Amino acid sequence: MAVVKPFNAFVYDTEKIADLSAVVSPPYDVIPLSLQEELYQRHPWNFVRLILGKEYPSDSGSESRYTRACRDFSDWIDKGVFRRLQEKSFFICELEFLTPGGIKKIRTDILSLVKLEDYSKGVIIPHEKTLLCPKLDRLNLMKAVNAHLEPLFFLYEDGNSRIKAVLERHKSFKPLFEFANGEGIIHRLWQINDSGDIKKIESFFKSKKLFIADGHHRYETALNYCMEKNGTSLNITGRKPYHYCMAALTEMNDEGVVILPTHRLIKDIAPEVLKDFPGNLTSIFWVEKFEGMLDKLLNLMESEHEKKVFALIIAKKGLYFRSAEATASTGNPVEIYYLKLKEDTFSNGLHPGRMLDVSILHDFILDKFLGISARDIELHKFVHYIRSPEEAMEKVKRGEFQMAFLLNPTKIQEVKNIALAGGKMPQKSTYFHPKLTSGLVIYKF
C-alpha cells in the first residue's frame, strides 16, 4: 500500500527570522490579490513570493512569476534564508485553533514524503474532479523550482491508535519551533529522526490507503511532472526523487479534522428561467418559507442534516433585475425558503456521490431548474462561492447576486464512502479547516 519516507527538509532559519508568522503564507489557492499584496509587504522573504508571485504586464516566457520564483528560491537558499536539515526526518505539525463556532480544537499532522501512485492502484484515493488550468499553473511552478513547496493533505485510518503513541511521545519534547500565524492558529513542529520511530511509521503506512483531502490538482501535477521526466511513461519506481510528493498525513477521526461548508451565490440567470422559481422545486423538495434569524436557520439545517436540506435566500420577485444604483440606495428585500428533499425522490437509489448535499444542489437544483450545467461551472459562469452565510445574505440584499444557497458541511464519512466507491464530488465540496500553512517545510529534488 502507501510508501512514506522521511526527508531532508528545507526550513526557514529561525536565527535569521525570529518571527515565522512574518514569512509563512496560506496555500496559494486561497490567496486573493489583496492578501497577496499584504503578504508581499509583510516581509521580503514571505513564502507567497514563491507559491503565488505577482504577475506584471511586461511578463514573457523568459521573465514570469515562475522564473522569479526560481530565482528567489535559489537566492534565499544561497543567503541562508532556508537551511537544509542534515538528518532525514518525519515531522509532526500540531495546529491549535478555534472553529467558527469558537470551539478549541487541536489537529496533529505527520509531514512526510509519499510515493506517487496512479489512481488505478487504489493506494491514493481521490474524491474531487480537477480542472486543467490550475494543473498547468502548478506544473510550470514545479518545473521552475524543482521542488514541492506546499504539502498535500491526506487522511488515513488508525482505528487502533497504533501510531498515535509515537506521535504523542515526541509531542512531549520541546518543538523545533512554535508560533501563531496571522489567523491566530498556533503551529508547533517537532522533528522525528529516531531510526526506530522512523521504521515504525514507515511500517505502519505499508498497510494503509491514503485519501486526498486537499490538493487534488497538485497531486495530479506531480504525476504529470513524472510523465514529462519519464518521456510520457508513468513508470514510478520510487528510485527518483520526483517519484514522491510532500504531504501532511492526518488520522481521519482526529478531533481536529473539521470540514466547513462552501455556500453558492448565483447571478445572471435569465428572467424566463426564474418565472416559476422557486415554486417549481416542489416536484422534488418540500419548500417552506422561513421567518426568523439566520442563526436559527443554520441550527435547523444542522439538526436535519441527514434529510438533505438547503436554505435558499432570494431577492423578492420582480426585484431580480433592478439596477445597481437602485439596489445600492435601498437594498433588496429578500425571502428565505427552507428546502427539504422529499423522501421518495430517489427511491431507485443513486451512486453515493450523487447523494451528497452538494451533488443534489448541482445536479438537480442548479442544472434541472436553473439551467446551470457542469460545463458552465467549470467555466466559472453563474456560480460563485462563499464561506460566510451572513456575507451571502448581504450580497443578495445588495443586489450583487440573485440568490444564495446555504449548505450543510460534507461529513468525513461521506468523503470516505464516495472515494472508496470511485465517485467524484463537484468542485468546492469540502473545505478542510484550517488550511495547511505554507512555508513550514520544503521538499527539493
187 and 233 in a single domain? The answer is: yes
CA distances from 170 to 100, 191, 192 (A): 29, 8, 7
- pLDDT for 317 equals 63
- pLDDT for 328 equals 46
188 and 269 in a single domain? The answer is: no
Task: For residues 170 and 179, give the distance between their C-alpha atoms in angstroms, rounded to a whole number.
Answer: 18
Q: What is the DSSP string of 332-375?
A: --EEEEEEEE-TTTTTT---GGGGSHHHHIIIIIIIIIT---HH
Residue 413 within a domain: no
Residue 414 within a domain: no
State the total domains in the chain.
2
Residue 425 within a domain: no
- pLDDT for 347 equals 55
Task: For residues 432 and 259, give the distance between their C-alpha atoms in angstroms, rounded to a whole number.
Answer: 5
206 and 84 in a single domain? The answer is: yes
Residue 358 within a domain: yes
178 and 317 in a single domain? The answer is: no
For the chain, state the CA radius of gyration. 23
76 and 11 in a single domain? The answer is: yes
- pLDDT for 351 equals 55
201 and 114 in a single domain? The answer is: yes
Residue 424 within a domain: no
Task: For residues 404 and 407, give the distance between their C-alpha atoms in angstroms, rounded to a whole number.
Answer: 10
What residues have CB less than 8 Å from 203, skipping those under 6 apart? none
178 and 32 in a single domain? The answer is: yes
137 and 118 in a single domain? The answer is: yes
106 and 121 in a single domain? The answer is: yes
C-alpha cell at 347: 427511491
227 and 268 in a single domain? The answer is: no
Low-confidence ranges of the chain (pLDDT < 70): 232, 317-331, 346-354
Residue 340 within a domain: yes
Task: For residues 353 and 359, give the distance between their C-alpha atoms in angstroms, rounded to a whole number.
Answer: 7
Task: For residues 139 and 95, give the distance between their C-alpha atoms in angstroms, rounded to a whole number.
Answer: 29
Give the residue among 392, 300, 371 at the shortest CA–CA distance from 340: 300
217 and 302 in a single domain? The answer is: no
Q: What is the DSSP string of 389-412?
A: HHHHHHHHHTTS-SEEEE-PPPPH
141 and 229 in a single domain? The answer is: yes
Residue 418 within a domain: no
Residue 426 within a domain: no
Domain containing 293 equals: 262-408
